[in-house]
Each structure stands twice: as structure tokens, then as C-alpha cells.
Structure 1
Amino acid sequence: MASLPRHQGWSIERLVPLLAGAFVLISVLLAVTFSQWWLIFTGFVGANLLFYSAVGWCPATLLLRRAGVPATSASCPTLRAQADPEIARREFATGMQAAIQRSERLAIGDWRFVVQVVRGTRSASARYLAKL
């Protein structure tokens, strides 16, 4: 079995479901122990969790963001880029430079191939056989 990914710290996207689960368990225990009215709190937590999954924020995310909790864990480059705009700009520029260099190399290679075919030093089908 493949090893499971390890978490890279606490973020809002991890804390919201954790808090919701804890509040649901606490409110169910309070409903069993004291009064059935505590189940209203369980419904409120469930509604906020649905709202969070549909819209991307809920009252808990506002409080956690104000407390300084990061929105996402920085475990992969895409998430780091989403968390820090400077990283996103740098990675985009690097990716664009690499794409331009690849396209230049391909264009030069295609031009050389056309010249070889015109001169008769290479057959046109060799290009397709080379790709296989």
C-alpha cells in the first residue's frame, strides 16, 4: 500500500472540518445529557459546513483568517503559489520562459527537417518514424 501523505501544518482547509466535527460531537453529547435543544447547534454546524463546501468560506474561516491561520498548507508548489502571489508570478515567468525555449527548439528543428527534405538528404516519412 502506498504511503499516505503527511500533513504540512494546520491550515483553514484542515481546521474547519476538524472544528465542525468537534462541535457536532459536543452538541450531540449535550443533547443526550441535558436537552434536545442542543441539536439545533448541530444543525447550525452542518449548515455552515455545507456553506463552506459550496462557497469556500463560513464564519469560522473569517475568525481563523483573522487569527492568522494560513488558508492552505504549503505542501505542493501549486498551493504555495496560491498562498503567495510573488511565488505565482515567479513560477509563471519561469514556465513561460521554458515554453518559449521549447517552442524555439522545435521550430528550429522543424526548419532543419524541411531543409533536409528539400535537399533530398532525408525522407519526409523519417520525421514520423522518429516520433514513434
Structure 2
Amino acid sequence: MNTNLKHLHPAPRQAFSLTEMLIVIAVIGILSSIAITYLGGVHRETMLQIRDQRNAQEVVGLSMGAIASGAPVVQPGDMRTTIGNLIEGRKATTGAFSGRTFRLSQLDEEEITGAMRYLSWQEDQPVYVFQGN
């Protein structure tokens, strides 16, 4: 009688099957897409915050220059009107900038509202507030 023990006890597996490999790759792909989506959202929020802070700094800088040059930009206590005046542009009436227009780049409503979070009033002049309101 010819007894072949190899058929009774197969050798232990030493590698992954193709199906197991594909499942692992699919799971890694799903996890990485979730991570990228999450990190992309965090990055977007940071970029919007930086944009709003930069717009607020620009409003303050232009307002200070306009005030020094006699351009009627600032509406004390009304930040939205002040920003609107800067977007429309106002001409300086005195000093080295006489006749020059102080103008802020076009901002949409979301950008104006975002910038206003970092603006406050001090002695009827807009000031930048780093922490936001």
C-alpha cells in the first residue's frame, strides 16, 4: 500500500492569497481617503482664518493711511460702512497723497464678515484684534 502523507497534511501556507492582498489594499485606500478628507477640511479652515486676518490687517492699514491723508473713509462705529468706503475708494485731500485714491480690493460678503471678526474700534479708528471677536 502506497501511503502519501503529503495529501493528508498539507504544508502550512507561507504567503497571502490574491484576495487577501486586494482586501488589505482596499481597506488602506478607504482609510487614506477618510484621512485626506479630514485633513483637507482642517487645512481649509486655517486658510480661511488667515485670509480673514489678512483682510482685516489691510482694512486697518488703508484706513490709517486714508485718515492721515484726509480721505473720508472711516465711519466711526460702523465697520461695514468703513469697509464699503474702502472698497469703493476715497480720494485723499491733504498731504503727499493728495488726489490719490485709497481703495481696497473687491471683497465678497463672506470675506467682509470674516474680516470684521478681527476688527474693533479704538478712538473712532479701526484696529486689528488678533484673537478675533
State whether TM-score is above 0.5. Answer: no
User: Larger strand proportion, structure 1 or 2?
Assistant: 2
User: Larger helix proportion, structure 1 or 2?
Assistant: 1
- Bigger CA radius of gyration: 2
* TM-score of the two chains, using structure 1 as the length reference: 0.32
